[in-house]
Structure 1
């Protein structure tokens, strides 16, 4: 499933996916130097980009370019925390039909700092809205320690699932975000709340 802003209703799914995978390559491989697979020298995809994945993709309303995106994976299927980083969780990685993993939270680097902040707030709000409307009670994920510090201040209930670990050149931690009736008021209190209407579009295997 792809979810994108209704401000870009005519964007075909494959174009939205191409923009997202290209931005992921620019951010996670070119900028952050993560050791990840690259398709055609342009796109970042890994073993978790399967039909199980849902993608939230924000597109520019004028030229339909990628602005921000995130990947959601059910914890009842293969996912990063459960399959690669279970050691980050003191009590083992949580799983269940109401728990989904957030990964590849990506803000397009071509934007200005102010545009990235707006896109970040809209994507965070979209994640909360999606959870509230789809029976998701918790998100789990992995974050660099500094990024976790930011995530925890967005206004939602966020906690670590274990101690910080060093992975290659950075310090990472597993996290849990609870989503309930207090989440949107919390985002509003911190100025993070930035709602968008969502368009739902079915997608199978990523086709580029």
Structure 2
């Protein structure tokens, strides 16, 4: 299950957001050792978790625990690539009303490898579906070089926006994904397509 909408009354609401921010802390701070702010010792939030953000949150259908999530930001507002990492883009970071940024792609570490793969495929499909239903033609983002290699094999059209750069302990690259009528067929060809019923969570400052 993926949380949809604008904090719809039947959505899990802040419980889903708390699970996502807690998982982000486990993955990006505890495991990957990124230097990021922590709220209340449990949650990873940064300056881009604003009312402009949209969150896709995959929840277990039985106990509603977090399985996977991603943050989407309009490039017409402050976002990671445009504000922190513009140097990764040879021709400058792309912007526009139909260009959004993907960041904080997070797979819950408590899952088995098979569960993580299933959650990854469901989240990738949700990201494509969300774009097709909301006037988004392209995504941009930043990825560790090895993760970009995986992203580029999912079946959608994906390219780098500049050369790989060394950032602290890893190599990172900016990328662009095109979303059009060929995207879902491409995901199907690679076995990545895994549709779910969608709900969407708005950004904002959640009551944690």
Please give the TM-score of this superposition, normalised by the length of structure 1: 0.95
What's the C-alpha RMSD, in Å, of the aligned pairs?
1.5
Q: 5+ unaligned residues in a row in structure 1: which ranges? A: none
Distance of 1:75 and 1:200 partners within structure 2: 18
Q: Which runs of 4+ in 1 moved over 6 A?
A: none
Deviation at 1:204, TM superposition (A): 3.4
Query: 2:207 is matched with which residue?
Result: 207
Query: 2:24 is matched with which residue?
Result: 24
Distance of 1:146 and 1:164 partners within structure 2: 11
Q: 5+ unaligned residues in a row in structure 2: which ranges? A: none
What does 1:49-88 correspond to in 2, within 5 Å?
49-88=49-88
Partner of 1:130: helix, strand, or coil? helix
Distance of 2:152 and 2:63 partners within structure 1: 33
Query: 1:37 is matched with which residue?
Result: 37
Check 1:36–1:79 CA distance in 2 against 1; reply closer, same or farther (3 A cut): same
Distance of 1:184 and 1:200 partners within structure 2: 19
What does 1:129-148 correspond to in 2, within 5 Å?
129-148=129-148
Contact 2:4 2:11 in 1 (8 A): no
Partner of 1:163: helix, strand, or coil? coil
Task: Tell me whether 1:112 sits opposite 2:112 in the alignment.
Answer: yes
Query: 1:164 is matched with which residue?
Result: 164
Deviation at 1:12, TM superposition (A): 2.3
